Chains A and B, each alone.
Chain A
């Protein structure tokens, strides 16, 4: 019998990631959004958020993992009265290396930044843009969104914050990658990452914008090519399928995080394996994170790579990629099926 408290095959690497949606409320209605409502029923109170944060801290310490947390919503700055006390609390944990805030940026002002400046563990503020073309961006994210986001980027950069930009790629904006990255370089943005559009939640309304495997290959090739250039913006490739370009480079691609090194906490404490794989596997308020991580059938069935079907199951890169389980689930109803956008 071997005690494997420090690390073993249950977790990849030294880090564990939480994506924490503290509210479902949002002031935007982006067409590709994975949320299906914005009512935020049973949203947790601040003392409940603190309780969960303490549970996260204890769990990370037990597992000897370095924690990273993304706090998001909905729009997290809608609930500032909870966001700031929570960040103050997280900022005290040795177990947490850093946290990021994922926001649409529309509610960020000087007062907000003076609060955020207190948190030395705040690494980046992540905003979203879908195109350099303002009209195209606003068709997805709403009128005025492009201008508001650029204003937020400038405000953040003037005040010394690191800014990340996320782009959700669909047929709608697949030709906007290069111009958008040029724009972001001009604005001094620190990192860029792209996520594939998954037609779930509100996003089912634009399911025809879902890319084919060949289109994704073209898009990912272009992003990979840009990422390989020395540049002042860092293009992050920590997503499944990028490993197809270079499976030996750990900075290119990432194993799907489900059952591996991440959990998502929703506004009411519900835990999903990933925000894009919305299958409840417990509640952070009432269940121990140990119980969820150790006993979830969903997580175990995905951890067993022999269960993964189709081309993903037969792929030599399964240990470093595994495809996107959420995408498989959305498109087929089976999270063990092959990634429908893999071109391999």
Chain B
């Protein structure tokens, strides 16, 4: 698993589309280029929304720990795993030129 650089910022590429129906507990991410799609849990979706706002990953992590009230060690590990999954599936990409 890739250790995230805390100053990195990630973005959602143009081909990625988020959709949710919170009242039904449904969260999705779609790739409109290749048709791939995923069902997400609320936590993963929340992280994607934060990334989509253009926040540096360290800020997203801080917000994540606060929002879900989890201890830093466990929370950071879960967070890294989720973000790495997004990176592997090309749901997010690193925003180049920003540190």
Contacts and interface: CB of A to CB of B under 8 A. Distances in A.
Interface string B12-48: 0000010101011010101111111111110010000
Interface string A266-303: 00000000000000000000001011001100001001
Interface stretch (A3-11, A75-83, A202-210, A336-344): A3-11
A1 B82 contact: yes
A89 to B, nearest CB: 21
B21 to A, nearest CB: 5
Given A294-B19, A300-B19, A10 B82 contact: no
A67 to B, nearest CB: 14
B17 to A, nearest CB: 5
A10 B37 CA distance: 10
Contact of B38 (A4, A58, A62, A63): A4
A290 B31 CA distance: 8
Interface residues of B, number: 24
Contacts of B66: none
B32 A306 contact: no
A62 B35 contact: yes
Interface size, A (range): 20 to 34
Given A1-B44, A290-B30, A59 B35 contact: yes
A234 B44 CA distance: 48
Contacts of A4: 37-39
A146 B40 CA distance: 55
B85 interface: yes
A288 B89 CA distance: 20
Contacts of A291: 17, 32
Classify the interface of chain B: helix, strand, loop or mixed: mixed
A304 interface: yes
Contact of A2 (B34, B38, B82): B38
B32 A288 contact: yes
B33 A288 contact: yes
A74 B2 CA distance: 57
A10 B28 CA distance: 10
Residue from A62, A291, A300 whose CB has the most chain B CB atoms within 10 Å: A291
A92 to B, nearest CB: 21
Contacts of B36: 3, 5, 62
A306 B44 CA distance: 23
Contact of B33 (A2, A5, A8, A290): A290
Nearest to A5: B36
A295 B89 CA distance: 20
A294 B21 contact: no
Contacts of A288: 32-33, 35
A295 B39 CA distance: 15
B97 to A, nearest CB: 28
Contact of A290 (B28, B35, B86): B35
Given A63-B35, A304-B24, A1 B85 contact: yes
Contacts of B32: 288, 290-291, 294-295
A325 to B, nearest CB: 17
Interface in A3-57: 3-5, 8-10
A59 B21 CA distance: 24
Contacts of B30: 290, 294-295
B39 A2 contact: yes
Nearest to A303: B21
A5 B34 CA distance: 11
A63 B30 CA distance: 13
A121 B21 CA distance: 38
Interface in A50-106: 58-59, 62-63
A3 B32 CA distance: 15
Interface of B: 17, 19, 21, 23-24, 26, 28, 30-41, 44, 82, 85-86, 89
Given A1-B82, A295-B30, 8 more contacts: A1-B40, A1-B44, A2-B39, A3-B36, A8-B39, A290-B31, A291-B32, A304-B21
- 5 closest cross-chain pairs (CB), A and B: A294-B30, A62-B35, A291-B32, A290-B35, A2-B39
